[in-house]
Structure 1
């Protein structure tokens, strides 16, 4: 498979390494300074760029008729616009806040646990996420996904980084050098606590998941998620 990398930072380089190990070819290594995007010999594009360039990158790939996978976070207020744009181009688009296979299983556990906890009184919910100091957005896209799952299954109305009201989930976003990513959900009551936690040991899991998604999406049309890739639900 011929892959264009839109964003060539640490994640882009990790994806390149795994893609080459899996006998794929890298056709483009675009950075924020790239002005010419040649997709003529490309089968799929993977975007791990910046929030300020992600939308432009996605549209460029869709304009060229190239399936595009994005793991860039911090631009999701425009997600529906991109979905509509993809549909207008009869294109192929997959976004995930986290491509780690383990995290996507963690999402399923979180969804089920939040359904169970919604039936029990006396618990408050909070989320803690820890990432490296070079991560630009806070909270992480993964933490937002976790919070939105809980909100969808409960009486919570919103999440906040500040002091939480009764109908809000507090997200604590920490930035510590060289931490790939840790997410923990805690349900606290006066008598006990319930915790679920995912800890990434390195970036390889994120990169592998992105490459697997690129392999899966070949010859498909539409808008997809990692649940489709993993055949969950």
Structure 2
């Protein structure tokens, strides 16, 4: 199966290495009609893909605006979008409904701050305090904190490396190539 991977960041480079070395997927250029386009790029690049290609799209690009989601909804090709493809993370976040503080730590090369995952968490949980930290050679960490005058309770999810996203990405590829059209989220994969 031919797939195209769009993006030049850590996750895109990791995916190219993984798919070339450990799967039967063939990496091709985006204009060669792949079965699936995997996009971890920038909002500008993602917007271009949405406008010009009709293959199924799997995207984890963060920093998207309303205009991007409006175009996703109008498209006829199947699209799955998630700011985070780590299935274990979604299992973790599903347990919480009233979080007061969110602290995230990512690699200092991560472009967006706060991360798309933290924005996603905030949209679900409506958090009152938010901290975004970038550190060299760090993969990804989200702390959900309940705090009051007497107690502080911390729940933490830490991705040990970017391989944590593989299960969600591979499941998403097989999910999206079976769809004729529509906009989907990682929730449909779980």
Whether TM-score is above 0.5 comes out as: yes
Q: Across the two proteins, how many residue pairs are aligned to each other?
A: 188
Aligned to 1:134: 109
TM-score, normalising length from structure 2? 0.90
* Pairing partner for 1:182 from 141, 166, 190: 141
**In 1, distance between residues paired with 2:50 and 2:58?**
8
Work out whether residues 73 and 183 of structure 2, in 8 Å CA contact, stay in contact via their aligned partners in 1: no
TM-score, normalising length from structure 1? 0.75
**Unpaired segments of 5 or more residues in structure 1?**
29-36, 118-123, 152-158, 160-168
Task: Could you list the structure 1 runs, at least 4 aligned residues long, displaced by more than 6 angstroms after superposition.
Answer: none
Aligned to 2:35: 43
Q: Give yes or no for the alignment of 1:193 onto 2:173.
A: no
Q: Alignment partner of 1:38: what SS?
A: helix
Work out whether residues 14 and 207 of structure 1, in 8 Å CA contact, stay in contact via their aligned partners in 2: no
Q: Are residues 84 and 217 of structure 1, via their aligned partners in 2, closer, same or farther at CA, if it must alter by over 3 Å?
A: closer
Aligned to 2:17: 17
Q: Are residues 8 and 136 of structure 1, via their aligned partners in 2, closer, same or farther at CA, if it must alter by over 3 Å?
A: closer
Aligned to 1:100: 86
> How far apart are 1:22 and its partner, in Å?
2.6
**Unpaired segments of 5 or more residues in structure 2?**
none
Aligned to 2:187: 227
> How far apart are 1:222 and its partner, in Å?
1.0
**In 1, distance between residues paired with 2:93 and 2:68?**
20
> How far apart are 1:130 and its partner, in Å?
0.5
